[in-house]
Structure 1
Amino acid sequence: MNSFQQFKLLPFIVDALTEKRITKPTDIQARIIPAAMNGRDIIGKSQTGTGKTLAFLLPILEAINPEEQSVQAIVVAPTRELAWQIHEELKSLLVKQPEFIKTSLIVGGTDRERQIDRMKNPPQLIIGTPGRILDLMKVQALFPHKVTHFVVDEADQMLDMGFLPEVDRIAQALPEKLQTMVFSATIPEKLEPFLKKYLHDPRYAEASAEHRVVPKIKHHTIPVRHRDRKELTVEVAKAINPFVCLVFTNTKQEADELETTFREAGLNVGTLHGDMQARRRKQAIKDINDAKYQYVIATDLAARGIDIKGVSHVINFGIPKDLDFYTHRVGRTGRAGATGEAYTLYEDHENGPINRLEERGFTFTHVDVRNGSLQPIKTRKRRTTDRKMKVSQTAHSRMAGEIKKAKKKVKPGYKKKFKYKLKETASREHMQSQRKERREIRKKNKR
């Protein structure tokens, strides 16, 4: 028996879920679906992979009137890829009765005129990115006056990417009688004004600690040690021989260059980043989900929202500048109780970010490629200083006083001189500290 029957869903939707082998609601689905079906506004705090997409699609499908030929629900996502993925999930729910309602994917990078023409026979459910949806509303191709359901997915990413003002303008144009559902991995302080403005007595739902799936991921570091980083990444990729491996780079240029290196090494690789044309990106995601590639090189575009199935390994070609993205990257593997492996390449000067990840609770083992396989090496040295040496508060205050005087004289180059003096002072204090430690050791040895 399919447990989703308890929600009294349409029979053809339950059949579609059963065909997909989805028979038991996740914790977040069990918390949200009943409240959403009762018309409550929703705040869902959940990571990708917890089943939140079904948590809002199922109540919407139950509420939509297929006889009403007007837009009744709008779902906005921060990226084209995520919008496309939600639309694919929707189509899989309607597979037994595809003519039940009309749906439309409205995203940038596609034929605008064709989308405007499509709105002449309006769909009941629209999924898209805020920019293009707002654009169609401005040219009066999309009429939102009968919308009853509005969903904002990955709201924190929407905020990070600067799309929240566009989402705000869409929400302003919607009817006052509206069910609003907002889903986000985190609830930043800057998101709260939006939530207070548009959500009324919302049901707050988050997977409880005892039900939250803790990913079984092993974290490893690999020292670059002046080797070619791209060649080393290829060696690591060959050594792990994954089912599917996601390789994350910090820039689009790195992704393209690394793809070339992988292809030259004879590896089956695909790429996903923001500079690709919309059609090519869409095809790349389809090929990835069809398991056509063993290795996928991506920027952080794919670290949020996009659900790539079967990822057994993650390689960080570079440590992300925003360490929160480390969590999102490695979260691509170890899904649904499965195990996963994450490998991070680092230079000596990148010890600081790894130290901070350890302070966040990540435990790393230290390995290196030897004779075509990964072998454990000595524990990584935790350097007490980051790229810039620490300076004592006394020294910093003294130097700050000097620079204050220098500012009054308005001499050029004072900032460079200040930085140089800080570095010089730090170096001197560091050497003094080392000498003191050596003296203490000698005293102990004499005793």
Structure 2
Amino acid sequence: MFKEFQFPVFINEALLKLQFQKPTSIQERVIPLVLQGKNVIGKSETGTGKTHAFLLPLLSKVQSQKKVQICIVVPTRELAMQIYEETLKITGCANDFIDVRVYVGGTDRDNEIERLNKSQPDVVIGTIGKIKDLAIQQNALQIHTAEAIVIDEADMVFANSEMEDMDNVFAKFSPQVQILAFSATFSEPILQFLHKYFGKLEVIDLSKKNISKANIVHYFIPTKNKNKDELLKDLLTNMQPYLALIFANTKVKVDEIANYLADNNYRVGKLTGDLEARTRKQMLRRIKEGEFQFVVATDIAARGIDIAGVSHVINYELPNDLEYYVHRTGRTARADFSGFAISFYDFDDDRYLDLLEQKGLKCRYRSLKNGELLPTKERNARSKRVIREAIYEQKAHASTPLPKKIKPAYRKKRNEIIQKKIRKAKREFVSEIYRKRSQKQGE
């Protein structure tokens, strides 16, 4: 229970308002370490309560001092705004005013600098580029006084930033500052960077060996060189999701899908990285208000945004990185709800699917007919058949040389001979299967 952490009164009041009854697994493990001042790396899936795993203990120590005490670094403006809103829900219960400010792109820079020159915030939440601008280039944001730094969605923060920018910003912090970093995955370069600045780190690894949550059903549909737009339309025919996120790998493809669905009378939202701040904010508000049943997005635009009620995730294209498959599908089945992940795949994706299965993902292969997902042969069985038939054809061609003298219709005659050999090879293969079965039954 939360009372074991001995939080101050205002934190307990906030917990009541938030209707938090007991800590999640990551909160149970992380909160005591944060209260002890330890440096922590938290590896956890999305939707596990990691935001409050750092907000609750850090804010319990904050006082109204008009100097930066906490600096929270995030990869996107949407995640910054989301954490800002959650922070205000907690600090709003404090007796004294705790100054919380958010710094992201697309805001009034001159006004921010003018306000910083008058007073410093107690809590800073922002993207690395904006913090670099205000703290280093403008020397307006005094982050050197920070007692704790949080890097949320660390893999995305580092992926979106130049390492030189990270170095410049982190060099401004005190050597005694507390560091907390959270992500579903941590690459070796990120770990090296964190160890370089902060030395010993307590690692809390709650990422499961399985690549996915147990309450997500993963369906995979072969495209078979069909038009993907028509496949998507067929898929959506009988689908009634609460909210479906449709992912593509590029902004161009997102635009194409969104336009296609709109032309077919679907009310569809769109999230891409190039949307202006005001437009993105309006889009998120409309999504949260339930205006759209379908939202098409890129990975960067959707990462770190907490959209409630996602019942389906559709991969129009499989992401290039397996980790992004985890992040995408982790959008659904939040808390105790179930969810569905549906992915289109091509023959070229065989190796990708092999890796997913090796990581423990239970893949259900389906064919799509009139909007229904019908059971089909396992992918490996189909792949083996395709490979086997390719071998038959190769052998048939090799054993059927071209005639020494080219005669009319020789192509047709040669092809008939080749097809006859392929059919014979198939019959022999089937006969061998039945022979082995009969042999086993007779034993």
Q: TM-score range by the shorter chain?
A: 0.7 to 0.9
Q: Are the equivalent residues in 2 in contact too, given 1:158–1:164 (CA < 8 A)?
A: no
2:371 & 2:435 partners in 1: Cα distance?
48
Q: Are the equivalent residues in 2 in contact too, given 1:289–1:308 (CA < 8 A)?
A: yes
Following superposition, the deviation at residue 278 of structure 1 comes to: 1.8
1:165 & 1:385 partners in 2: Cα distance?
51
Following superposition, the deviation at residue 442 of structure 1 comes to: 7.1
Q: Aligned residue for 2:400?
A: none
Matches within 5 A, 1:330-369: 330-369=329-368
Q: Aligned residue for 1:371?
A: 370
1:291 & 1:440 partners in 2: Cα distance?
56
Following superposition, the deviation at residue 126 of structure 1 comes to: 0.5
Counterpart among 97, 105, 108 of residue 105 in structure 2: 108
1:434 & 1:328 partners in 2: Cα distance?
46
Following superposition, the deviation at residue 359 of structure 1 comes to: 2.7
Write out per-residue CA displacement over residues 209-235 of structure 1, whole angstroms, 9 at most, x where no aligned residue: 69x993311111223334331232133
Q: Are the equivalent residues in 2 in contact too, given 1:270–1:293 (CA < 8 A)?
A: yes
Write out per-residue CA displacement over residues 295-315 of structure 1, whole angstroms, 9 at most, x where no aligned residue: 111111255322221111111
How many residue pairs match? The answer is 401
2:350 & 2:96 partners in 1: Cα distance?
56
Q: Aligned residue for 2:138?
A: 139
Letter in 2 for 1:127: I
- Bigger radius of gyration, 1 or 2? 2
Write out per-residue CA displacement over residues 244-278 of structure 1, whole angstroms, 9 at most, x where no aligned residue: 11111111111111111222222222111112112
Matches within 5 A, 1:41-440: 41-66=39-64, 68-97=65-94, 100-120=97-117, 121-137=119-135, 138-207=137-206, 214-302=213-301, 304-380=303-379, 381-383=381-383
Q: Are the equivalent residues in 1 in contact too, given 2:154–2:183 (CA < 8 A)?
A: yes
RMSD (Å) for aligned C-alpha atoms: 3.2
Q: Are the equivalent residues in 2 in contact too, given 1:248–1:318 (CA < 8 A)?
A: yes
Following superposition, the deviation at residue 207 of structure 1 comes to: 2.8
Structure-2-length-normalised TM-score: 0.81
1:209 & 1:372 partners in 2: Cα distance?
33
Q: Are the equivalent residues in 2 in contact too, given 1:215–1:338 (CA < 8 A)?
A: no
Q: Are the equivalent residues in 2 in contact too, given 1:80–1:129 (CA < 8 A)?
A: yes
Write out per-residue CA displacement over residues 30-78 of structure 1, whole angstroms, 9 at most, x where no aligned residue: 1111121121211212222111111111122112221x11112111012
Write out per-residue CA displacement over residues 106-126 of structure 1, whole angstroms, 9 at most, x where no aligned residue: 112322222212312221111
Question: For residues 35 and 444 of structure 1, do their structure 2 counterparts lie closer, same or farther at Cα, with a shift above 3 Å needed?
Answer: closer
Question: For residues 310 and 7 of structure 1, do their structure 2 counterparts lie closer, same or farther at Cα, with a shift above 3 Å needed?
Answer: same
Q: Are the equivalent residues in 1 in contact too, given 2:212–2:330 (CA < 8 A)?
A: no
1:241 & 1:296 partners in 2: Cα distance?
14
Question: For residues 205 and 434 of structure 1, do their structure 2 counterparts lie closer, same or farther at Cα, with a shift above 3 Å needed?
Answer: farther
1:115 & 1:386 partners in 2: Cα distance?
62
Letter in 2 for 1:41: N
Following superposition, the deviation at residue 439 of structure 1 comes to: 7.2
Question: For residues 444 and 83 of structure 1, do their structure 2 counterparts lie closer, same or farther at Cα, with a shift above 3 Å needed?
Answer: closer
Q: Are the equivalent residues in 2 in contact too, given 1:369–1:375 (CA < 8 A)?
A: yes
Write out per-residue CA displacement over residues 132-174 of structure 1, whole angstroms, 9 at most, x where no aligned residue: 1011112111122321111111222223333443232212111
2:301 & 2:39 partners in 1: Cα distance?
28
Q: Are the equivalent residues in 2 in contact too, given 1:352–1:386 (CA < 8 A)?
A: no
Q: Are the equivalent residues in 1 in contact too, given 2:245–2:313 (CA < 8 A)?
A: yes
Q: Are the equivalent residues in 1 in contact too, given 2:45–2:207 (CA < 8 A)?
A: no
2:197 & 2:307 partners in 1: Cα distance?
32
Deviates further, 95-104 or 147-156: 95-104
2:423 & 2:126 partners in 1: Cα distance?
59
Deviates further, 373-382 or 294-303: 373-382
Question: For residues 8 and 446 of structure 1, do their structure 2 counterparts lie closer, same or farther at Cα, with a shift above 3 Å needed?
Answer: closer
| Structure 1, gaps ≥5 residues long | 391-432
Q: Are the equivalent residues in 2 in contact too, given 1:303–1:325 (CA < 8 A)?
A: no
SS of 1:259's equivalent?
helix
Q: Are the equivalent residues in 2 in contact too, given 1:224–1:345 (CA < 8 A)?
A: yes
Letter in 1 for 2:8: L
Q: Aligned residue for 2:26?
A: 28
Deviates further, 8-17 or 179-188: 8-17
| Structure 2, gaps ≥5 residues long | 391-421, 437-443
Deviates further, 294-303 or 359-368: 359-368
1:318 & 1:174 partners in 2: Cα distance?
41
Q: Are the equivalent residues in 2 in contact too, given 1:156–1:191 (CA < 8 A)?
A: yes
Question: For residues 385 and 283 of structure 1, do their structure 2 counterparts lie closer, same or farther at Cα, with a shift above 3 Å needed?
Answer: farther
1:445 & 1:55 partners in 2: Cα distance?
60
2:189 & 2:344 partners in 1: Cα distance?
33
